[in-house]
Amino acid sequence: MKILVCISNVPDTTTKITFTNDNTEFNTSGVQYIVNPYDEIALSRAIELTEGGKGTVTVINVGEAANDPTIRKALAIGADDAIRINAAPRDAYFVAKQIAEYAKDKDFNIILTGRESIDYNGNQVAAMVGEFLDIPSVSIIKKLAIDGDTATIEREIEGGKEVLTVSGKFIASCAEGVAEPKIPNMRGIMSARTKPLTVVDAVAVEEVTKVTKYETPAPRGTVKLIPADQTESLISLLHSEAKVI
C-alpha cells in the first residue's frame, strides 16, 4: 500500500497573528512554523496503516525551500520520503492542482490531508485533488480502517456521524480521532536527515482567487462583571441588553 500525505507549513498555534504592508501581507517576523496539526494526524494514521512492511508513506508539500525543516519534521515522525513542489502556494486551487499533477501518474492507493490548514482554514485541498484526479473524496473524517481494497470511514455530520465505505483509490481529509499524533523519536530525527526529499517543478495554474487585504476582529469593549451572587442580573442583561435569550 502506498499512501501520499499532503502537509502544510503553518504558523505555530500560539502565534499572535499580525499583518504588514497596509494589512496586505501576513507578518512572518518571529513566527515559528510547524507541520499543520491536522496533517500530523493524517501522517500518523498513514504510518500506522503501513507499519511492519505493509507499505510506504510519501509526504508532499507545495512550498519554497524555507519549508524544508517542516518537511524534515514529517520525515522524522516516520514518512519514508518527501516531495516538495517548488512554488509559493497561492491558494488551495493552486496547491491542489500541483498535488494532483504530481500524483496522477503515480500509483498511490490513498491520499490523506488534514481537515484544514490552521492558517487559511480552507477544507479545500482534499476535495479539489479528488476532483482533479476524478477519484472519491471524503472530507473531515474521524475514523479510517482499511480491509484489503475497501476503506471504512466515519465522518462527522451536524449532530452525528456517517459511516461509509469506499473501494479503490480515494482521498480523505483527517480530523481528530483518526489517530493520535506521533512524536518523533531520536532515531526518527537522525534518519530524517538522510531520507530522500525530492524537489519538483511546479506547473502553471490559472488564478482564481487573490487575497487583497486582511482584517483582525474588532476588539470587544471591557467586560461587564456581575457579582457571583447576582446570577439573575446576568440573565436579565442577556435578555434585555444583549438580546440573545
Residues in 66-125 that interact with another protein by CB under 8 A: 91-93, 96, 118-125
Q: Are 197 and 71 in contact (CB under 8 A)?
A: yes
If one asks whether residue 177 binds another protein (CB under 8 A), the answer comes out as yes
Residues 148-167 that bind another protein (CB under 8 A): 152-153, 155-167
Among 1, 88, 203, 238, binds another protein (CB under 8 A): 238
Alpha-carbon span 90 to 64, nearest angstrom? 12
CA 177 to chain CA mean position, Å: 14
Nearer to another protein among residue 194 and residue 222 (C-beta) = 222
Cβ 77 to another protein shortest distance, Å:
17
Among 57, 77, 126, 192, binds another protein (CB under 8 A): 126
If one asks whether residue 52 binds another protein (CB under 8 A), the answer comes out as no
Residues 188-227 that bind another protein (CB under 8 A): 206-217, 220-221, 223-227
Nearer to another protein among residue 59 and residue 178 (C-beta) = 178
Nearer to another protein among residue 186 and residue 245 (C-beta) = 245
Among 137, 144, 174, 192, binds another protein (CB under 8 A): 137
Please count the residues of this chain forming the interface with another protein, following the rule CB under 8 A.
Answer: 86
Residue corresponding to grid cell 503501513: 50
**Contacts of residue 148, Cβ cutoff 8 Å, sequence gap at least 6:** none
> Between helices 68-77 and 37-50, what is the axis angle to 10°?
40
Nearer to another protein among residue 33 and residue 93 (C-beta) = 93
**Contacts of residue 93, Cβ cutoff 8 Å, sequence gap at least 6:** 124, 128, 205, 208, 209
If one asks whether residue 128 binds another protein (CB under 8 A), the answer comes out as yes
**Dihedral class, residue 97 (left if φ above 0, else alpha if ψ from -120 to 50, else beta):** alpha
Alpha-carbon span 167 to 229, nearest angstrom? 59
Nearer to another protein among residue 88 and residue 190 (C-beta) = 88
Give the CB-side neighbour count of residue 215, counting CA atoms within 13 A. Answer: 3
If one asks whether residue 240 binds another protein (CB under 8 A), the answer comes out as no
